[in-house]
Structure 1
Amino acid sequence: MGAAVMRTFRLYDFDGNRYNLTSKNHLFFYAVDGLGFEKKSQFQRIEDRFALLDDYIDQGKIVGTIKFWQPNAELQYFNFAQFCQNQPIMMDYNNNYGTYSRRGIITSIKRSDGKGTPLEIEIEFSAATPWFKTISKYNEGTITGGKVYDYTYDYTYSESVINTVSIDSDSYQSSPVRLVIFGEAVNPSWRHYINNVLVSSGKINGTVLDNHRLIIDTTTIPYSIKQFDMLGNVVSDMYQQSDFSTKRFVRFGHGTNTVTFSADNVNILNVGVEAEIEYATI
């Protein structure tokens, strides 16, 4: 017999604090619903056939029950309720085959008295994103040391072709990414290929300063093109300096996604890609 699959849930508040929803002898999240998806579709009838006009995944809602064990159930519930106020919230789901995340807010908490029995509440998490898996890769070129990376996830430094990062996506969903270019870089540009076919490109008419980084971001709404200093502070919004004759913003598709970078002042750049590979269901 194979090993049992232990599914775990974790929440992260706006400040990155973690709350484990499957903590032995403290609390347990169960009877979870909403891990699948529902599509909204519009059709036009033509005789006895139907033409698809529009098709999109509806906003997800995850509901379930949390049981707080005595004797400290009331205190645990209070701490949890306070945690949920520091929104937005990110939910992590791990099923032993990987960790998948979803951003959103807690839109409902329903509780019973719980006096003398385990205190139970029902929660509703309204998702702002689909489920996604984070994959990040960097190509340092010949630059080493002195950089500060204030990121959450681990990185892979394995690219052998200069100024190039490749990431495979096994999802058929369009997936958002962050492109990262470290300075100094004058008039940096980028080109995105899916399975060796050019699908988009972009360019900034300006300079990314030394020890700064330019981030072209489609993981947030609205999309953005901003320059940050080493501490993560926004130095300048460079959207208006982007080349409007190009698509500029990148989203990954199914297959091998390759992004190549260049700049006017150097032949070798320090670059990276942080992809959030999205899934309709997990």
Structure 2
Amino acid sequence: MAETDKFGGLFRKIGDTIHIGTKKFKGKAILSSKFDDSLGESLIHRVKAEENDNFRKIDGFIVKEPENAVLLQSGVLVGVAGSGIYQLEKTAKHPGSEIIWVTKREFIIKWGTPGIYTSDNVMVGCWGISRMRIVNPRNFIMNVVSHKQYYSGNELKNWVKQTVIAAVKHVMTRYTVPELLKERRSLEIQTRSELGPESSRWGLELVGLDIGGFKVPEEYETLLTYEIEKQIIETQQELAEERNQFDDVSEKIKKFELMLEQADEMFLGGKISEKRYKEIADKYSSKLAKIKAEKSL
């Protein structure tokens, strides 16, 4: 910690968060974040000098570990404070001064789109999960939050969701249906690449993007099931190699149970027809019953 950590002459770092209980800060009026989650998960806590009668009496503020604080003076960025305890100078206690705490926690965005035309002119549905976090508080406040007093996780999720869907749609149009089902990881990588620059402008980092699955026309459902089986088998083989052992019967049971669970989820989610669901269920229920009977002998 350096006493010379000054930001525009308006505030300076005077300690780390672990020092807040020491004599040095006893009796001091130290502001801290109070995220209001009454309207949903809050991403910011904003304090304006002109709206807080006690602002002039404040000695400083604290920024906790999972946060950053952005300081503005008459709408102009003064600085971004990381974890620590900061002293407010007198010049920072006048109207126009603002302290905005910004959370750094990761948030999850579930998304889905019912119909995208692939390069072979087939309409395919797609859904998945994205994980994001705020890594540039300055860009986030200046380019996303702007003048808003409150900004919730739901607001950001709804906004980002549309951008994610647009990127997924754009990338999917380059693939045929068989390519989509076989090259899911490639699709994820290309979508992340498309979202990168836009996310950066908003002060966000795309931590991860996972495509959960596709809804395809009935004539492609056999291929979809085959690709799911293939992925499950590959995953199980990787796990077996890590354990350096492979119990063939037990692994087959797990495989068939996973296939039945996947079929249930796809049918209930409207991803496959009842006809295809029954075919899968009959196939793997029969195999599961047979192998369990053999194991019990």
TM-score (norm 2): 0.24
Larger radius of gyration: 2
TM-score (norm 1): 0.25
Structure with higher RCO (Cα < 8 A, 6+ apart): 1
1 or 2, which has the higher strand percentage? 1
1 or 2, which has the higher helix percentage? 2
